[in-house]
Amino acid sequence: MSRQASAEPLAGDPAAADVVPVIEMVGLRKAYGRRVALHDLTLQVRPGEVFGFLGPNGAGKTTAVKILTGLVRPSGGRARVLGFDVGDPQGRRRIGYLPEQFRFQDWATGAELLDFHGRLAGMSAAERRTRVPEVLDQVGLGGRGGDRVGGYSKGMTQRIGLAQALLAHPALVLLDEPTSALDPVGRREVRDLIRAIRDEGVTVFLNSHLLGEVEAVCDRVAIVDRGRIVRSGRLAELLGPAVSLRVELDRVDHDLLRELGRHGDVVEVAGTSVTLAVDGLDQAPAVAELVVQRGYLLYGLVPVQQSLEDLFVGLVHGETA
């Protein structure tokens, strides 16, 4: 898939032809004076998927999310959420949103905070009594709802933010850097939570710069740079098949490298490990046979696939065709 200024993920997919996108942006543009934050942004997000929205700082990610919530008005183009124009109360009431930077009332307890947000969302008292402890358990704060928010750690504050985003059973959850304040265990728990709500049919729009997190949990991604989408699609399609072999040996010398060069291009040598770019994985048996015949000990022969980080850096810095 080549570099592009916009993406129409549903186009050409007969199975999705009659599906109303949960998010639809067409020719979206946002300018702040002379500075243009978004240029002709076009994408669609399907129901029930986790969609990753990636880009470097200043790429326009948060601006796009704020437009979806109705907090910022676009300068041009159009955007719809859950079949409604952005800002329409019928669509907004079905969105859960966790902004990147947020502040809650320090004096309130976690349960009081969620009860307040439940009232804002129009939930009845009976619904709130059931849902507040339920969502506290869901984000790992069970038993801590009586603690004041001002005494929460950064990770706990992030979790209560997630709880308020999920409180009113939203159809769409917009998460802006949801794991930025969490330790590795907390990040894994959030990944599990995202998968769980996806399995319930909730659509998740994940704005993050943590590429490993996105790679672990997202169905599709769009990479945005300087306000334009430069690549989008399913991860498997974007990353492509493995085209390199990592050869682990007891030793590496010039003779070996010369011989390996007959089967591909040596792209990296790290200690006793050699990464070999090949035309196809059918080269692997020949490489293994060569190594053993020449008297080397073969400890491993592993196909290597391009990572999301490799793709991202290549696109943002203009290194990917």
Final residue of a structural domain among 239, 269, 290: 239
Please report where in the chains the tokens 């800002």 appear, as a residue: 87
pLDDT digits (tens, 9 = 90+) for 119-170: 999 999 999 999 999 999 998 899 899 999 999 888 888 889 999 999 999 9
pLDDT of 320 > 60? The answer is no
Q: Identify the pLDDT of residue 5.
A: 40
Amino acid symbol at 53 = F
Work out the average pLDDT over 287-291: 92
Q: Do residue 166 and residue 65 come from a single domain?
A: yes
Domain count along the chain: 2
Q: Do residue 274 and residue 299 come from a single domain?
A: yes
Q: Do residue 204 and residue 277 come from a single domain?
A: no
Give the 3-state secondary structure of 70-115.
CCCCCCEEEEEECCEECCCHHHHCCEEEECCCCCCCCCCEHHHHHH
Is 5 inside a domain boundary? Answer: no
Spatial separation of the C-alpha atoms in residues 25 and 7, rounded to whole Å: 10
pLDDT digits (tens, 9 = 90+) for 8-56: 444 445 445 567 899 999 999 999 988 888 988 999 999 999 999 988 7
* 298 or 279, greater pLDDT: 298
Is 9 inside a domain boundary? Answer: no
Work out the average pLDDT over 74-86: 93
Q: Do residue 209 and residue 280 come from a single domain?
A: no
Q: Do residue 114 and residue 36 come from a single domain?
A: yes
Q: Do residue 256 and residue 134 come from a single domain?
A: no
* 82 or 181, greater pLDDT: 82
Is 72 inside a domain boundary? Answer: yes
- Beta strands (DSSP E) in the chain are 23-32, 35-45, 50-54, 76-81, 84-85, 95-98, 172-176, 203-207, 220-225, 228-234, 244-249, 265-270, 273-277, 298-304
pLDDT of 6 > 60? The answer is no
Question: Could you tell me the pLDDT band of residue 7, with boundaries at 50, 70 and 90?
Answer: low
Q: Do residue 189 and residue 254 come from a single domain?
A: no
Q: Do residue 147 and residue 283 come from a single domain?
A: no
Is 320 inside a domain boundary? Answer: no
Q: Identify the pLDDT of residue 313.
A: 74
Q: Do residue 150 and residue 165 come from a single domain?
A: yes
Q: Identify the pLDDT of residue 184.
A: 85
Q: Identify the pLDDT of residue 318.
A: 63
Biggest CA–CA distance in the chain, Å, is 76
Is 2 inside a domain boundary? Answer: no
Domain that holds residue 295: 244-305
Q: Do residue 271 and residue 133 come from a single domain?
A: no
Q: Identify the pLDDT of residue 76.
A: 93
pLDDT of 311 > 50? The answer is yes
Identify whether the C-beta of residue 194 lies closer than 8 Å to the C-beta of residue 204. yes
Is 87 inside a domain boundary? Answer: yes
Domain at 85, CATH number: 3.40.50.300
Is 222 inside a domain boundary? Answer: yes
Whole-model pTM: value is 0.77
Is 313 inside a domain boundary? Answer: no
Spatial separation of the C-alpha atoms in residues 237 and 220, rounded to whole Å: 9
